[in-house]
Protein backbone atom coordinates (compact mmCIF):
# COMPACT_ATOMS: atom_id res chain seq x y z
CA UNK A 1 0.00 0.00 0.00
CA UNK A 2 1.69 3.23 -1.16
CA UNK A 3 -0.76 5.96 -0.13
CA UNK A 4 0.21 9.47 -1.17
CA UNK A 5 1.35 11.48 1.86
CA UNK A 6 0.68 15.22 1.90
CA UNK A 7 2.53 17.75 4.01
CA UNK A 8 -0.26 20.20 4.82
CA UNK A 9 1.58 22.47 7.26
CA UNK A 10 5.03 23.13 8.64
CA UNK A 11 6.19 25.25 11.56
CA UNK A 12 9.52 25.80 13.28
CA UNK A 13 11.27 27.82 15.94
CA UNK A 14 15.05 28.26 15.73
CA UNK A 15 17.81 30.84 15.49
CA UNK A 16 16.27 31.84 12.14
CA UNK A 17 13.01 32.81 13.84
CA UNK A 18 9.52 31.36 13.78
CA UNK A 19 7.94 32.98 10.71
CA UNK A 20 8.39 31.36 7.28
CA UNK A 21 8.85 34.68 5.46
CA UNK A 22 11.50 35.88 7.91
CA UNK A 23 13.25 32.52 7.82
CA UNK A 24 13.42 32.66 4.01
CA UNK A 25 14.84 36.19 4.10
CA UNK A 26 17.51 35.05 6.55
CA UNK A 27 18.44 32.16 4.27
CA UNK A 28 18.90 34.65 1.44
CA UNK A 29 21.16 37.04 3.36
CA UNK A 30 24.21 34.71 3.41
CA UNK A 31 24.97 35.55 7.04
CA UNK A 32 25.18 32.91 9.75
CA UNK A 33 22.86 33.21 12.74
CA UNK A 34 25.35 32.30 15.45
CA UNK A 35 25.82 34.19 18.69
CA UNK A 36 28.15 33.83 21.64
CA UNK A 37 27.21 32.49 25.05
CA UNK A 38 29.34 31.92 28.10
CA UNK A 39 29.27 28.14 28.24
CA UNK A 40 31.70 25.60 29.61
CA UNK A 41 33.54 28.45 31.36
CA UNK A 42 34.38 30.20 28.09
CA UNK A 43 32.73 32.09 25.26
CA UNK A 44 31.23 29.64 22.82
CA UNK A 45 29.61 30.04 19.40
CA UNK A 46 26.03 28.70 19.41
CA UNK A 47 22.88 29.06 17.33
CA UNK A 48 20.41 30.21 19.99
CA UNK A 49 16.79 31.24 19.42
CA UNK A 50 16.31 34.80 18.21
CA UNK A 51 14.82 37.36 20.61
CA UNK A 52 11.27 37.11 19.25
CA UNK A 53 11.26 33.32 19.54
CA UNK A 54 12.60 33.49 23.10
CA UNK A 55 9.71 35.80 23.98
CA UNK A 56 7.19 33.33 22.52
CA UNK A 57 8.67 30.54 24.63
CA UNK A 58 8.60 32.75 27.74
CA UNK A 59 4.92 33.56 27.14
CA UNK A 60 4.05 29.86 26.87
CA UNK A 61 5.93 29.15 30.10
CA UNK A 62 3.98 31.83 31.97
CA UNK A 63 0.60 30.96 30.43
CA UNK A 64 -0.04 27.91 32.59
CA UNK A 65 1.30 26.99 36.03
CA UNK A 66 1.89 23.44 34.77
CA UNK A 67 4.26 24.77 32.09
CA UNK A 68 6.41 26.85 34.43
CA UNK A 69 8.89 24.10 35.21
CA UNK A 70 9.02 22.36 31.83
CA UNK A 71 12.25 22.07 29.87
CA UNK A 72 12.81 24.35 26.88
CA UNK A 73 12.71 21.34 24.55
CA UNK A 74 9.04 20.84 25.48
CA UNK A 75 8.16 24.52 25.15
CA UNK A 76 9.89 24.78 21.75
CA UNK A 77 7.79 21.84 20.53
CA UNK A 78 4.57 23.33 21.91
CA UNK A 79 5.23 26.62 20.08
CA UNK A 80 5.88 24.88 16.75
CA UNK A 81 3.01 22.40 17.12
CA UNK A 82 0.35 25.00 17.94
CA UNK A 83 1.21 26.95 14.80
CA UNK A 84 1.38 23.92 12.51
CA UNK A 85 -1.98 22.52 13.62
CA UNK A 86 -3.58 25.94 13.12
CA UNK A 87 -2.07 26.24 9.63
CA UNK A 88 -3.33 22.77 8.69
CA UNK A 89 -6.84 23.64 9.81
CA UNK A 90 -7.05 20.76 12.27
CA UNK A 91 -9.90 21.71 14.60
CA UNK A 92 -10.48 20.56 18.17
CA UNK A 93 -12.33 17.47 16.94
CA UNK A 94 -9.48 16.26 14.72
CA UNK A 95 -7.93 12.92 15.66
CA UNK A 96 -4.24 12.77 14.86
CA UNK A 97 -1.14 10.93 15.94
CA UNK A 98 1.88 12.67 17.45
CA UNK A 99 5.54 11.69 17.24
CA UNK A 100 7.92 14.41 18.42
CA UNK A 101 11.37 13.00 19.08
CA UNK A 102 14.50 14.37 20.71
CA UNK A 103 18.09 13.25 20.87
CA UNK A 104 18.67 14.31 24.48
CA UNK A 105 15.27 15.42 25.72
CA UNK A 106 15.07 17.67 28.77
CA UNK A 107 18.77 18.52 28.72
CA UNK A 108 18.87 21.72 30.75
CA UNK A 109 16.25 20.63 33.28
CA UNK A 110 17.89 17.26 33.85
CA UNK A 111 21.28 18.88 34.46
CA UNK A 112 19.76 21.34 36.94
CA UNK A 113 17.93 18.59 38.85
CA UNK A 114 21.03 16.40 38.94
CA UNK A 115 23.23 19.26 40.18
CA UNK A 116 20.70 19.96 42.94
CA UNK A 117 20.78 16.28 43.90
CA UNK A 118 24.58 16.31 44.08
CA UNK A 119 24.48 19.46 46.22
CA UNK A 120 21.66 18.45 48.58
CA UNK A 121 21.19 14.70 48.27
CA UNK A 122 17.52 15.27 47.41
CA UNK A 123 15.53 15.40 44.17
CA UNK A 124 12.59 17.64 43.36
CA UNK A 125 9.13 16.02 43.30
CA UNK A 126 8.67 16.52 39.54
CA UNK A 127 12.27 15.72 38.57
CA UNK A 128 11.36 12.39 37.00
CA UNK A 129 8.14 13.13 35.07
CA UNK A 130 9.52 16.36 33.60
CA UNK A 131 12.75 14.78 32.33
CA UNK A 132 11.54 11.50 30.80
CA UNK A 133 11.96 11.06 27.05
CA UNK A 134 8.19 10.76 26.53
CA UNK A 135 7.77 14.14 28.17
CA UNK A 136 7.71 16.09 24.87
CA UNK A 137 5.01 14.20 22.97
CA UNK A 138 2.92 13.81 26.13
CA UNK A 139 2.85 17.56 26.74
CA UNK A 140 2.07 18.25 23.08
CA UNK A 141 -0.88 15.86 23.31
CA UNK A 142 -2.03 17.64 26.49
CA UNK A 143 -1.60 21.11 25.01
CA UNK A 144 -3.44 20.29 21.79
CA UNK A 145 -5.99 18.05 23.55
CA UNK A 146 -5.19 15.30 21.07
CA UNK A 147 -6.97 11.95 21.33
CA UNK A 148 -4.75 10.01 18.91
CA UNK A 149 -1.61 7.96 19.60
CA UNK A 150 1.39 9.84 21.00
CA UNK A 151 4.89 8.45 20.60
CA UNK A 152 8.38 9.50 21.64
CA UNK A 153 11.78 8.19 20.66
CA UNK A 154 15.45 9.08 20.41
CA UNK A 155 17.60 7.99 17.48
CA UNK A 156 20.23 10.67 18.00
CA UNK A 157 20.57 13.14 15.13
CA UNK A 158 18.19 11.35 12.75
CA UNK A 159 15.40 11.41 15.35
CA UNK A 160 13.08 13.91 13.63
CA UNK A 161 13.17 12.18 10.25
CA UNK A 162 12.53 8.86 11.99
CA UNK A 163 9.44 10.54 13.46
CA UNK A 164 8.39 11.44 9.92
CA UNK A 165 9.02 7.84 8.82
CA UNK A 166 6.82 6.66 11.65
CA UNK A 167 4.07 9.09 10.64
CA UNK A 168 4.23 7.85 7.05
CA UNK A 169 3.98 4.25 8.25
CA UNK A 170 0.90 4.98 10.38
CA UNK A 171 -0.80 6.80 7.51
CA UNK A 172 0.01 4.20 4.88
CA UNK A 173 -1.24 1.43 7.19
CA UNK A 174 -4.60 3.14 7.52
CA UNK A 175 -4.26 3.30 11.31
CA UNK A 176 -4.35 7.12 11.18
CA UNK A 177 -5.46 9.81 8.73
CA UNK A 178 -3.41 12.66 10.21
CA UNK A 179 -0.04 12.75 11.93
CA UNK A 180 2.09 15.44 13.57
CA UNK A 181 5.79 14.58 13.28
CA UNK A 182 9.00 16.37 14.16
CA UNK A 183 11.77 16.94 16.65
CA UNK A 184 12.85 19.33 19.37
CA UNK A 185 16.20 20.04 21.01
CA UNK A 186 17.54 22.50 23.60
CA UNK A 187 21.17 21.35 24.01
CA UNK A 188 22.98 24.62 24.72
CA UNK A 189 24.30 23.66 28.15
CA UNK A 190 27.76 23.50 29.73
CA UNK A 191 27.83 19.70 29.93
CA UNK A 192 26.61 19.13 26.36
CA UNK A 193 29.17 21.56 24.94
CA UNK A 194 31.86 19.86 27.04
CA UNK A 195 30.84 16.48 25.59
CA UNK A 196 31.20 17.78 22.03
CA UNK A 197 34.59 19.26 22.87
CA UNK A 198 35.65 15.95 24.38
CA UNK A 199 34.85 14.32 21.03
CA UNK A 200 37.02 17.04 19.41
CA UNK A 201 34.28 17.98 16.94
CA UNK A 202 33.25 21.41 18.26
CA UNK A 203 34.39 24.45 16.29
CA UNK A 204 37.40 26.35 17.59
CA UNK A 205 37.07 29.06 14.94
CA UNK A 206 36.69 32.57 16.34
CA UNK A 207 33.64 33.99 14.58
CA UNK A 208 34.89 37.54 15.20
CA UNK A 209 37.94 36.77 13.06
CA UNK A 210 36.36 34.43 10.51
CA UNK A 211 32.93 34.95 8.89
CA UNK A 212 32.22 31.21 8.77
CA UNK A 213 32.70 29.49 12.17
CA UNK A 214 30.89 26.34 10.99
CA UNK A 215 32.41 25.11 7.73
CA UNK A 216 29.70 22.58 6.95
CA UNK A 217 30.00 21.58 3.26
CA UNK A 218 33.65 22.71 3.06
CA UNK A 219 35.30 19.43 2.08
CA UNK A 220 38.85 20.76 2.39
CA UNK A 221 38.69 22.05 5.97
CA UNK A 222 41.55 21.04 8.25
CA UNK A 223 39.56 20.93 11.51
CA UNK A 224 36.14 19.91 12.79
CA UNK A 225 33.80 22.91 12.95
CA UNK A 226 30.47 21.72 14.31
CA UNK A 227 28.44 24.30 16.27
CA UNK A 228 25.33 23.43 18.27
CA UNK A 229 21.95 25.05 17.74
CA UNK A 230 18.56 24.82 19.42
CA UNK A 231 15.04 24.69 18.09
CA UNK A 232 12.06 22.58 17.10
CA UNK A 233 10.05 21.92 13.96
CA UNK A 234 7.01 19.84 13.08
CA UNK A 235 5.02 18.98 9.97
CA UNK A 236 1.39 17.97 9.57
CA UNK A 237 1.04 14.81 7.47
CA UNK A 238 -2.21 13.58 5.91
CA UNK A 239 -3.17 10.61 3.74
CA UNK A 240 -3.98 11.19 0.08
CA UNK A 241 -4.10 14.27 -2.12
CA UNK A 242 -5.09 17.45 -0.29
CA UNK A 243 -6.05 20.88 -1.57
CA UNK A 244 -3.90 22.54 1.09
CA UNK A 245 -0.83 20.36 0.51
CA UNK A 246 2.46 22.29 0.37
CA UNK A 247 4.41 19.22 -0.81
CA UNK A 248 4.17 15.45 -0.95
CA UNK A 249 6.40 12.80 0.61
CA UNK A 250 7.03 10.37 -2.24
CA UNK A 251 9.93 8.30 -0.94
CA UNK A 252 11.41 7.25 2.39
CA UNK A 253 14.49 5.22 3.19
CA UNK A 254 16.47 4.12 6.22
CA UNK A 255 19.52 2.03 7.08
CA UNK A 256 21.94 1.36 9.93
CA UNK A 257 25.71 1.24 9.70
CA UNK A 258 27.65 -1.75 10.99
CA UNK A 259 29.57 -0.23 13.91
CA UNK A 260 33.33 -0.20 14.31
CA UNK A 261 33.10 2.03 17.39
CA UNK A 262 30.42 4.11 19.17
CA UNK A 263 30.20 7.00 16.67
CA UNK A 264 31.63 5.37 13.57
CA UNK A 265 30.54 5.80 9.98
CA UNK A 266 32.22 4.08 7.03
CA UNK A 267 34.42 5.93 4.53
CA UNK A 268 31.64 5.89 1.94
CA UNK A 269 28.71 6.04 4.40
CA UNK A 270 27.13 2.73 3.44
CA UNK A 271 24.08 3.58 5.56
CA UNK A 272 23.43 6.70 3.47
CA UNK A 273 23.84 4.80 0.23
CA UNK A 274 21.21 2.29 1.37
CA UNK A 275 18.76 4.88 2.73
CA UNK A 276 18.99 7.02 -0.42
CA UNK A 277 18.51 4.04 -2.73
CA UNK A 278 15.44 2.98 -0.74
CA UNK A 279 13.93 6.47 -0.87
CA UNK A 280 14.67 6.74 -4.60
CA UNK A 281 13.26 3.36 -5.59
CA UNK A 282 11.65 3.62 -9.05
CA UNK A 283 12.71 7.29 -9.30
CA UNK A 284 14.94 8.45 -12.17
CA UNK A 285 18.03 9.90 -10.49
CA UNK A 286 18.24 12.81 -12.93
CA UNK A 287 14.85 14.03 -11.68
CA UNK A 288 16.23 14.73 -8.20
CA UNK A 289 17.06 18.44 -8.26
CA UNK A 290 18.56 19.11 -4.81
CA UNK A 291 19.92 17.16 -1.85
CA UNK A 292 19.87 18.78 1.59
CA UNK A 293 22.78 17.02 3.24
CA UNK A 294 23.19 16.20 6.92
CA UNK A 295 26.74 17.66 6.74
CA UNK A 296 27.32 18.64 10.39
CA UNK A 297 30.60 20.46 9.81
CA UNK A 298 32.93 17.64 10.85
CA UNK A 299 35.68 16.51 8.50
CA UNK A 300 34.61 12.88 8.32
CA UNK A 301 30.87 13.45 8.56
CA UNK A 302 30.79 15.83 5.60
CA UNK A 303 33.13 13.98 3.25
CA UNK A 304 31.70 10.49 3.84
CA UNK A 305 28.19 11.71 3.00
CA UNK A 306 29.50 13.31 -0.19
CA UNK A 307 31.17 10.00 -1.12
CA UNK A 308 27.88 8.17 -0.55
CA UNK A 309 26.02 10.64 -2.79
CA UNK A 310 28.67 10.21 -5.49
CA UNK A 311 28.28 6.41 -5.25
CA UNK A 312 24.51 6.64 -5.72
CA UNK A 313 24.32 9.44 -8.33
CA UNK A 314 27.61 9.03 -10.17
CA UNK A 315 28.96 12.06 -12.01
CA UNK A 316 25.53 13.68 -12.49
CA UNK A 317 25.09 15.10 -9.00
CA UNK A 318 22.04 17.12 -8.00
CA UNK A 319 22.61 20.52 -6.41
CA UNK A 320 23.98 19.96 -2.90
CA UNK A 321 23.48 22.07 0.19
CA UNK A 322 23.12 22.03 3.98
CA UNK A 323 21.74 24.41 6.59
CA UNK A 324 24.11 23.77 9.49
CA UNK A 325 26.48 26.58 8.51
CA UNK A 326 23.43 28.77 9.16
CA UNK A 327 21.53 27.21 12.11
CA UNK A 328 24.11 24.93 13.68
CA UNK A 329 23.52 21.28 14.52
CA UNK A 330 20.29 20.86 16.44
CA UNK A 331 20.74 17.13 17.11
CA UNK A 332 17.27 15.49 17.16
CA UNK A 333 15.60 18.46 15.45
CA UNK A 334 18.18 18.77 12.67
CA UNK A 335 16.49 16.55 10.08
CA UNK A 336 13.15 18.35 10.27
CA UNK A 337 14.89 21.75 10.01
CA UNK A 338 16.60 20.41 6.86
CA UNK A 339 13.12 19.52 5.60
CA UNK A 340 12.15 23.15 6.21
CA UNK A 341 14.92 24.35 3.89
CA UNK A 342 13.78 21.81 1.28
CA UNK A 343 10.18 23.01 1.48
CA UNK A 344 11.23 26.66 1.18
CA UNK A 345 13.36 25.94 -1.89
CA UNK A 346 10.41 24.14 -3.51
CA UNK A 347 8.04 26.96 -2.62
CA UNK A 348 10.30 29.72 -3.96
CA UNK A 349 11.88 27.61 -6.73
CA UNK A 350 15.25 28.95 -5.59
CA UNK A 351 18.35 27.01 -4.61
CA UNK A 352 20.07 28.09 -1.39
CA UNK A 353 23.72 27.13 -1.56
CA UNK A 354 26.51 27.41 0.98
CA UNK A 355 28.30 30.72 0.35
CA UNK A 356 31.81 29.43 1.05
CA UNK A 357 31.35 25.98 -0.51
CA UNK A 358 31.51 24.68 -4.04
CA UNK A 359 29.67 27.18 -6.23
CA UNK A 360 26.67 25.63 -7.98
CA UNK A 361 24.22 27.21 -10.39
CA UNK A 362 20.53 26.39 -10.61
CA UNK A 363 19.68 25.63 -14.24
CA UNK A 364 16.14 24.23 -13.91
CA UNK A 365 13.06 24.40 -11.76
CA UNK A 366 13.24 22.64 -8.40
CA UNK A 367 10.60 19.92 -8.24
CA UNK A 368 12.17 17.12 -6.17
CA UNK A 369 14.39 17.43 -3.09
CA UNK A 370 16.04 14.64 -1.08
CA UNK A 371 16.78 15.22 2.61
CA UNK A 372 19.39 13.21 4.53
CA UNK A 373 19.99 12.77 8.26
CA UNK A 374 22.22 10.45 10.26
CA UNK A 375 22.93 9.97 13.95
CA UNK A 376 25.73 8.53 16.07
CA UNK A 377 26.11 4.88 15.17
CA UNK A 378 25.04 5.35 11.55
CA UNK A 379 21.22 5.52 11.81
CA UNK A 380 20.53 7.10 8.41
CA UNK A 381 17.24 8.37 7.00
CA UNK A 382 16.49 9.80 3.54
CA UNK A 383 13.19 11.46 2.62
CA UNK A 384 12.15 12.50 -0.91
CA UNK A 385 9.62 15.32 -1.30
CA UNK A 386 7.98 16.72 -4.42
CA UNK A 387 6.34 19.98 -5.34
CA UNK A 388 2.52 19.98 -5.46
In percent, the amount of the chain with pLDDT more than 70 equals: 97
Answer whether residue 299 shows pLDDT above 70. Answer: yes
pLDDT in tens, 90-123: 988 889 999 999 999 999 999 999 999 999 999 9
Which pLDDT score is estimated for 258?
A: 72
201 within domain boundaries: yes
Confidence at 382, pLDDT banded by 50, 70, 90:
very high
- Mark whether 100 and 160 lie in a shared domain: yes
Answer whether residue 71 shows pLDDT above 80. Answer: yes
Q: Are strands 379-386 and 247-256 parallel, antiparallel or unpaired?
A: antiparallel
Which pLDDT score is estimated for 262?
A: 47
- Mark whether 235 and 268 lie in a shared domain: no
Residue where a domain stops, chosen among 185, 215, 239: 239
Question: Which residues make Cβ contacts (< 8 Å) with residue 385, sequence separation at least 6?
Answer: 7, 247, 248, 249, 250, 339, 342, 343, 346, 368, 369, 371
String of DSSP letters for 310-352:
HHHHTT---EEE-SHHHH-B-GGGHHHHHHHHHHHHHHHT---
Residue where a domain stops, chosen among 207, 239, 271: 239
pLDDT in tens, 322-375: 999 999 999 999 999 999 999 999 999 999 999 998 889 999 999 999 999 998
pLDDT in tens, 215-249: 999 999 999 999 999 999 999 999 999 999 999 99
- Mark whether 76 and 137 lie in a shared domain: yes
Residue where a domain stops, chosen among 183, 205, 239: 239
Confidence at 168, pLDDT banded by 50, 70, 90:
very high
Confidence at 41, pLDDT banded by 50, 70, 90:
confident
Answer whether residue 208 shows pLDDT above 90. Answer: no
322 within domain boundaries: yes
Largest separation between any pair of C-alpha atoms in the chain: 63
244 within domain boundaries: no
- Mark whether 280 and 208 lie in a shared domain: no
- Mark whether 256 and 351 lie in a shared domain: yes
Question: Which residues make Cβ contacts (< 8 Å) with residue 315, sequence separation at least 6?
Answer: none
89 within domain boundaries: yes
- Of residues 165 and 3, which shows the higher confidence score? 165
Q: Tell me the average pLDDT across 264-292.
A: 90
Question: Which residues make Cβ contacts (< 8 Å) with residue 370, sequence separation at least 6?
Answer: 251, 276, 279, 280, 288, 290, 291, 292, 318, 382, 383, 384
- Mark whether 168 and 202 lie in a shared domain: yes
Average the pLDDT over each of 4-8, 34-38, 73-77, 331-335 and give the range with the smallest value: 34-38
204 within domain boundaries: yes
Mean pLDDT value across the chain:
94
- Mark whether 164 and 274 lie in a shared domain: no
pLDDT in tens, 143-152: 999 999 999 9
Say if CB 275 and CB 335 are below 8 A apart: no
d(CA 295, CA 88): 31
- Mark whether 13 and 157 lie in a shared domain: yes
353 within domain boundaries: yes
Q: Are strands 42-46 and 97-101 parallel, antiparallel or unpaired?
A: unpaired
Helix H or strand E segment including 141:
helix 135-144
- Whether the full predicted model's pTM is greater than 0.85, yes or no, is yes
Give the chain's domain count: 2
Q: Which CATH number characterizes residue 36's domain?
A: 3.40.47.10
245 within domain boundaries: no
Domain of 382, in residue numbers? 250-386
Answer whether residue 4 shows pLDDT above 90. Answer: no
Amino acid sequence: MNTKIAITAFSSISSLGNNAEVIWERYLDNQHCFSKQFLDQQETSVAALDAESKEIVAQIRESDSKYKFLDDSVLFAIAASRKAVEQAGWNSDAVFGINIGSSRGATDLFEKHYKEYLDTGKAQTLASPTTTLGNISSWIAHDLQSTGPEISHSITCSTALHALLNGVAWLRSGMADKFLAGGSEAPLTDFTIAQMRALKIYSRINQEEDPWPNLAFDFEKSQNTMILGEGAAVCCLESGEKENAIAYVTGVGYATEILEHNISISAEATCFQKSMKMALKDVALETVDVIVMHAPGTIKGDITELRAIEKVFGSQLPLLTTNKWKVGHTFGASGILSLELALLMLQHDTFIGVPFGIQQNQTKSIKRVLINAVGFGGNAVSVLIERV
